[in-house]
Amino acid sequence: MLYISIKAQVWYSDFMLSLFVFILLITVFYRVLNNISPQGDIDYASLKRQAMSIAEGLSTQGTPQNWTFQKVTRVGLMNSDGSRASPFKLFEAKRLSYNELKRLLGVGNEFIVVFTNATGSVINIGGYCSLGYDYGLAASNSIGYYTKSQGLGFIVSNITALGGDLYNLSSVDDFFSNISNYQLLVIENPHFDDTGGLTLQQKLARLEEVVANGTHLVMSGVIGGDLLNVSFLSESGGWGLATQENEMFRFVQNQNVSMYYSTTLNSTNSSILSLVENTANHSLVAEWSYGNGSVVYLSNFSINDSVTGRKLWARVMDAIRYNIIGNCSDLEPNSIQSEHLAKIERYLIMGSRVMRMEVYAWV
């Protein structure tokens, strides 16, 4: 009987010890669960509010309404009437540092904004794939650049950085052989003539053909002949006056623009939007449509503000960027190194394209 009693006591002790350990584990589990789950919920809710705040902020005009990276208190992408997003405001936002952009948007955590098409592919806007965190998305561009001898260094270096193909007089035949491969052509002071395998008229006809088929053309200086429903005048001077406010170059009406020119555009054609004119009312800067494509003409890519002397070359480059159409490598949200990730989507019109703005925020 003594043996049985001792055995029972040992069994009872083991049972109580096991029960104690079990209760302890359950207590620890629930304490950990209570500490972690609400925090996770709080982090996600906070991130979602932050992503929503970014989307809402970018869906405004910003402050001031025509802000630039040099003068801005709130970043927004919408144009002056709020009907669509402005690529040029995106370009200005890209000139801000990431930390400055976070401050202006009131963001404490990491974020990235991308724009996608109907199939979900990331869209390349002006050579830019994203706003915010540099995720290393690669842009694919289709740009052909031609100048007779030596172009403006600022433009050439930017075209090179965008992956454009460069041509000059020695490769003029290659340029005209390849122009149908490009979605954007930039032609700087070309002085086209009969040099090479094509005559002048054949070259001009080839340009008209590709633009009519949907290519966008930005050109300057002496072209060599009339084309694209416009005629050029041999005329020299040093400045012009902006005829109206313009989003592309961000001119204000009656702004004095310094531009040394030897050729102007006869702006009597009603389809031409004349942006800067000389005292004879001939265009120094203009834009118009031709078939399925579009054309921007400047008497000289090198333009300055006549009053301040400030170079406006970046605005010329923005006008070139505006016509860049391309894709980017895809953003893979699962590859973002984060503990918590939130995403907000919003549809908008950028330029003439409907797209989806996707905002990601994470910690």
342 neighbors 348 (Cβ within 8 angstroms): no
Q: How confident is the model at residue 9 (pLDDT cuts 50, 70, 90)?
A: low
What DSSP element (H or E) covers 67? none
Q: Quick one: which of 352, 354, 158 has its CA closest to 247?
A: 352
User: What's the rounded mean pLDDT across residues 160-183?
Assistant: 95
Q: Would you call 304 helix, strand, or coil by DSSP? A: strand
Out of 2-11, 141-150, 244-253, 326-335, give the one with best mean pLDDT.
141-150
Residue 24 confidence (pLDDT): 57
Dist. CA 253–CA 244, nearest whole Å: 4
Q: Identify the helix (H) or strand (E) that includes residue 43.
A: helix 2-58
pLDDT-based confidence at residue 22 (cuts at 50, 70, 90): low
The confidence band for 134, taking pLDDT boundaries of 50, 70 and 90, is very high
- DSSP classification of residue 93: H
pLDDT of res. 14: 59
Q: 288 with 273: CB under 8 angstroms?
A: yes
List, in order, residues 6 or more apart from 60 with CB less than 8 Å away.
74, 76, 78, 82
Residue 63 token pair = 């402050």
Kindly report the CA angle at 184 between 297 and 193, in degrees rounded to 5? 60
What pLDDT shows up at residue 11? 52
CA distance 134 to 225: 45
Does the structure show a pLDDT above 60 at 335? yes
State residue 1's pLDDT score. 45
CB atoms within 10 A of CB 149: 11
pLDDT at site 26? 60
| Topology adopted by domain 142-323 | Rossmann fold (3.40.50)
User: What are the residues whose beta carbons fall under 8 Å from the beta carbon of 66, sequence distance 6 or more?
Assistant: 80, 250
The answer on pLDDT for 7 being more than 80 is: no
Q: Which pLDDT belongs to residue 188? A: 96
Positive or negative CA dihedral for 15, 16, 19, 25? negative
The length of the chain is: 363
In the predicted model, is pLDDT for residue 36 greater than 50?
Answer: no
Q: Which residues pair with 220 in a beta bridge?
A: 188, 298
Q: If you write DSSP's letter for every residue of 177-220 in order, what string do you get? A: HHGGG-SEEEEES----S-SSS-HHHHHHHHHHHHHTT-EEEEE
pLDDT at 217: 96
User: 18 pLDDT exceeds 90?
Assistant: no
Strands 216-220 and 293-298, how do they pair? parallel
Which candidate, 77, 126, 123, places its Cα nearest to that of 319? 126
- Report residue 105's pLDDT band, with 50, 70 and 90 as the boundaries: very high
What element of type H or E holds 34? Answer: helix 2-58
Burial (CB < 10 A; 0-12, 13-18, 19+), residue 87, is: buried
Q: Using one digit for the tens of pLDDT, what is the confidence trace for 212-249? A: 999 999 999 999 999 999 999 999 999 999 998 887 88
- Among 31-35, 114-118, 321-325, 331-335, the range of highest mean pLDDT: 114-118
Nearest to 141 by CA among 178, 177, 173, 185: 185
In this structure, of 84-98, 134-148, 206-220, 304-318, the range with the lowest mean pLDDT score is 304-318
Domain ranges of the chain: 1-133+329-363, 142-323
- Cα–Cα distances (Å) from 188 to 110, 284, 299, in that order, read 41, 14, 10
pLDDT given for residue 241 in this prediction: 94
Instruction: Examine the pLDDT at 28 and tell me if it is beyond 80.
Output: no
- pLDDT for the residue 143: 94
DSSP state of 334: G
**What is the arithmetic mean of pLDDT over 113-140?**
92
| Chain centre to alpha carbon of residue 333 | 21
- Edge to edge, the sheet with strand 123-125 lists 123-125, 325-328, 139-140
